[in-house]
Structure 1
Amino acid sequence: MQHLDQAVAGAHAKLERRIQGYLRSSGLKPSCHKGCYACCHALVTLGLAEAEYLRARLSPQILARTERVGHARLEAIARGKGQPDFPTRYFLGAHRCPLLDEAGACSAHPYRPLACRGVLTELNPRYCAPGAVLRLRGRARLEYEHQLRGHHGPEHYLKIPWQRSEGLAQRLWEQEQAIRGFTVIGELATLIYFCGLEGFQQALKRGARATQLYLRSAGVLGG
């Protein structure tokens, strides 16, 4: 839907402006850079509109890989979706994002979801690797904690970009509900995989109830 594509692009542009304004006013400079992908092992949550927007802009090779990963993740998500610590445990398993290219750069960086855009730090990016903070002991732990300030949280990530990305994601979901009548919120690779399935597309056309039944049959509804 064109209106949804415009809503997604508008939300992305708005978050970028807000983050850049915050960084200028705070004097903070992120340590994140191209090829730094320590944080790119998490389960990324996005809505259906962002998944459709992203899917349409992936190269055939990256799309095929993302669909394979999404299909493989179905069982894990269906099994663990009701467990509050499932996202954390999955991140600690160091599952590489399928959007990364061979050099470790995001192949879809201009179109990445709001959830990815809000993850920034000005500390050493080695802290972002799965389990890195949990493994800190003794002097290394004290050194890490000594660097934390009021603008951090959760952990060493910049609080304001994180909060603004979450707020804009919520508003985007509300926009989609107003346009489509409902939305689906899920994990990046899995939702992109679903978007390529004829059964899922037919369910979307029939509305919220049919989509709920489809996702329930796949074992991923709720959680």
Structure 2
Amino acid sequence: MTKSGDTLQQLIDQAKQQQMFLEMFVRSWVDDYRSGGGTVFCGKGCSNCCRLAVHTGFAEALAVARVLDEERGRAVETYAAKLRDLVRGVAELPQYLRLHRDEMGGCPLLNGEGACSVYPVRPLTCRSLISTRDSAWCGADFSKVAPQEREAFLAGLDRKVVSFPSHYVAVLQDSGKELEEAGAQQMGSLLDFSLYGNLGVLVQLCRAHDLAGAALQGRGEAERVIAEAGFDHPLLVTVS
């Protein structure tokens, strides 16, 4: 098939199907867990996890970019530029994740009420992050938590379901990752390469630098666009 807008739509359609599948799985799992006496703490307005770095595949980022209004678009632009400057000289993932949580503030896609402005098309990584503990723990820096409090937190985790030592549901995170990998494989089969990276960065590249058009021209052109925009950092975008 010709590499065109139809190719991009194929990628977005598959991402949408994957999101719908995961959504049904999450709802079913949560219902079963609650019926067995378990507690899930996620809910509207609970946005501590939105301080974490969100990474996703190209198709999901493109879908988000296509529905943004101008206000959120400006917020994404500011976020991406700040993050680009923040990671200069940073080489290790733990440092990047810590800096993001401590310095970047909330997700640029949150509206004035603290709710996700792109909730219907939010990425798999957001959909799969389901908390079994109070939302305060989703934004906690465990290096600053007192040892006794940390031990109590770990002792209270439901090890049958969480991705220990986190309080997030393991099977849902694993399912999200498997679906992301399937999306990357489809992009690879259609375009001969795949893109994965920070959500805000990829959205900015799609909105302001026509990353989608560049991707249709091939890996080299996509890499050129990413580099010229200053986002050619392995912690921000990976091309494979």
TM-score (norm 2): 0.83
Q: Larger deviation: 45-54 or 153-162?
A: 153-162
Listed as ranges, the gaps of 5+ residues in structure 1 are none
Number of aligned residues? 221
Displacement of 1:79 in angstroms is 3.3
User: CA deviation digits over 1:175-215, x for unaligned, max 9?
Assistant: 12222332211111111111123464553232112222333
Q: Larger deviation: 176-185 or 11-20?
A: 176-185
Is the 8 Å Cα contact of residues 42 and 90 (structure 1) preserved in structure 2? yes
Query: Where in structure 2 are the equivalents of 1:1-223 lying within 5 Å?
Result: 1-26=8-33, 27=36, 28-80=38-90, 82-85=91-94, 86-93=96-103, 95-131=105-141, 133-150=142-159, 151-154=161-164, 155-198=166-209, 200-217=211-228, 218-223=230-235
User: CA deviation digits over 1:56-98, x for unaligned, max 9?
Assistant: 1122211221122112222223532x32322233223352110
Percent identical: 21
Identify if the C-alpha distance between structure 1 residues 206 and 185 changes in structure 2 by more than 3 Å, giving closer, same or farther: same
Distance (Å, rounded) in 1 between the aligned partners of 2:211 and 2:175: 31
Is the 8 Å Cα contact of residues 205 and 226 (structure 2) preserved in structure 1? no
Identify if the C-alpha distance between structure 1 residues 13 and 202 changes in structure 2 by more than 3 Å, giving closer, same or farther: closer
Paired amino acid for 1:2: Q
- The secondary structure found in structure 1 opposite 2:197 is strand
Paired amino acid for 1:211: A
Identify if the C-alpha distance between structure 1 residues 63 and 146 changes in structure 2 by more than 3 Å, giving closer, same or farther: same
Paired amino acid for 1:114: L
- The secondary structure found in structure 1 opposite 2:177 is helix
Identify if the C-alpha distance between structure 1 residues 56 and 15 changes in structure 2 by more than 3 Å, giving closer, same or farther: same
Is the 8 Å Cα contact of residues 71 and 193 (structure 1) preserved in structure 2? no
Is the 8 Å Cα contact of residues 209 and 225 (structure 2) preserved in structure 1? no
TM-score (norm 1): 0.88
Identify if the C-alpha distance between structure 1 residues 164 and 221 changes in structure 2 by more than 3 Å, giving closer, same or farther: same
Distance (Å, rounded) in 2 between the aligned partners of 1:124 and 1:195: 35
Per chain length, whose mean CA-contact separation is higher, i.e. which structure has more relative contact order (CA < 8 Å, sep 6+)?
A: 1
User: CA deviation digits over 1:128-158, x for unaligned, max 9?
Assistant: 1141x43332543333122112211241111
- The secondary structure found in structure 1 opposite 2:56 is strand
Is the 8 Å Cα contact of residues 39 and 130 (structure 1) preserved in structure 2? no
Distance (Å, rounded) in 2 between the aligned partners of 1:111 and 1:73: 23
